[in-house]
Structure 1
Amino acid sequence: MYIGDSHWHLVLSDIAEVRNYFTNHKRELDNQYKKVAATSAARWIPDFMIQGLAPASEAELRAGLPPRAKIEKLVARFFNSLDPFVQILHHKTFHERLEAFFADPKSQSLAWVGLLYAALTLAMQSYSKVGDEPPEWKGRTSELAAEYRGRTVQALGACDYTRPNVYTVETLVLYVHAEYMTRLDVDFGLYLVVGTMVQIAMRMGYHRDASQFSSVSPYEAEMRRRVWLLIRQIDIIFSAQLTLPSLVKS
Structure 2
Amino acid sequence: MVADPTDLTSAVDGDSECGSMRVTNSELRYIGSDHWSAILENIADLKDHFNQGERRVTDSIVDYSDSELASGLPPNDHALLLYGCGRASRSEILDALPPRSTVDRYISRYLNQLELVASSVVHGPSFYETFWTNPSEAPIVWIGFLFSMISLAILASRPSDFMHGHGAEQQSIQIDLYREKIVQCLTTGEYTNSGPFVLETLINYIYVEFGIRKDANKDVWFLLALEVNLAMQMGYHRDPQHFPDISPLQGEMRRRIWATVLMSDILISSQMGMPRITKEWQCDTDEPRNLNETDLSETTTSLPQARPETEHTTTLGIIARRRMLAALGKISDITDAAIPIPEKHALKPVWEQFKFSVSSKKRPIQVAGFIRSAGG
Count of paired positions: 220
List gaps (5 residues or longer) in structure 2: 1-21, 23-29, 47-74, 281-376
Structure of greater Rg: 2
Residue number among 126, 147, 160 corresponding to 1:93 in the alignment = 126
Runs of 4+ in 1 over 4 A off after TM superposition: 12-15
Aligned residue for 1:245, secondary structure, equals coil
Give, as a single letter, the amino acid of the residue that structure 2 aligns with 1:81.
Answer: Q
Q: Compute the displacement of 1:13 (Å).
A: 6.8
1:139-172 per-residue CA deviation (whole Å, 9 max, x = no partner) reads 4112101211111011000001111111000000
User: How far, CA to CA, are the matches of 2:193 and 2:31 in structure 1?
Assistant: 35
Q: Does 1:218 align with 2:251?
A: no
CA distance in 2, matches of 1:230, 1:145: 23
Paired position in structure 2 for 1:64: 96
Provide the C-alpha distance between the structure 2 equivalents of 1:45 and 1:240, rounded to a whole number of angstroms: 20
The percent identity for this pair of structures is 31
Which residue of the other structure, out of 211, 215, 225, is the alignment partner of 1:181? 211
Q: Is contact 1:47-1:190 (8 Å) kept?
A: no
Alignment match, 2:314: none
Amino acid at match of 2:97: L
2:145 equivalent to 1:112: no
1:202-245, Cα deviation, whole Å (9 max, x unpaired)? 11111110122110011001101111111111111111111111
1:106 Cα offset (Å): 2.5
Residue 36 of structure 2 is aligned to residue 8 of structure 1: yes
Paired with 1:222 and 1:71, the residues of 2 have a C-alpha distance of 27
Displacement after TM superposition at 1:10 (Å): 3.8
Larger deviation: 169-178 or 51-60? 51-60
For residues 235 and 77 of structure 2, what CA distance do their matches in structure 1 show? 29
CA contact (8 A) 2:109 2:153 kept: yes
Residue 227 (structure 1) aligned with residue 227 (structure 2) = no
Residue 157 of structure 2: SS of its match in structure 1?
Answer: helix
Deviation per CA, 1:182-210, whole angstroms, max 9, x where unpaired?
Answer: 11221112211111111111111111101
Which structure carries more helix by proportion? 1
In the aligned structure 2, how far is the partner of 1:102 from the partner of 1:86? 20
In structure 2, the residue matched to 1:154 is 184
- The equivalent residue for 1:34 is none
Name the counterpart of 1:138: 167
In structure 1, the residue corresponding to 2:86 is in which secondary structure? coil
Instruction: Give the secondary-structure state (helix, strand or coil) at the position aligned to 1:214.
Output: coil
- Conserved 8 A contact 2:80-2:180: no
The structure, 1 or 2, with the larger RCO (C-alpha pairs under 8 Å, 6+ apart) is 1
- Name the SS of the counterpart of 1:3 in structure 2: strand
Distance of 1:149 and 1:59 partners within structure 2: 17
1:20-72: CA deviation from partner (whole Å, max 9, x where unpaired): xxxxxxxxxxxxxxxxxxxxxx94631524x2111111111111111111100
Write out per-residue CA displacement over residues 56-93 of structure 1, whole angstroms, 9 at most, x where no aligned residue.
Answer: 11111111111111100111111111452111111111
Query: For 2:97 and 2:206, how far apart are their aligned partners in 1?
Result: 20
Give TM-score, length-normalised by structure 1: 0.81
SS of residue matched to 2:103: helix
Verify: 1:79 aligned to 2:111, yes or no. yes
Partners of 2:146 and 2:114 in 1: CA distance: 18
RMSD (CA atoms): 2.2
Taking the aligned partners of 1:83 and 1:143, their CA distance within structure 2 comes to 25
Pair 1:55-2:83 in alignment: no
The 8 Å contact of residues 147 and 181 in structure 2, kept in 1 or not, is answered as: yes
Deviations 1:109-131 (A, max 9, x none): 11110100000000011114xx5
1: CA distance, partners of 2:115 / 2:162 = 20
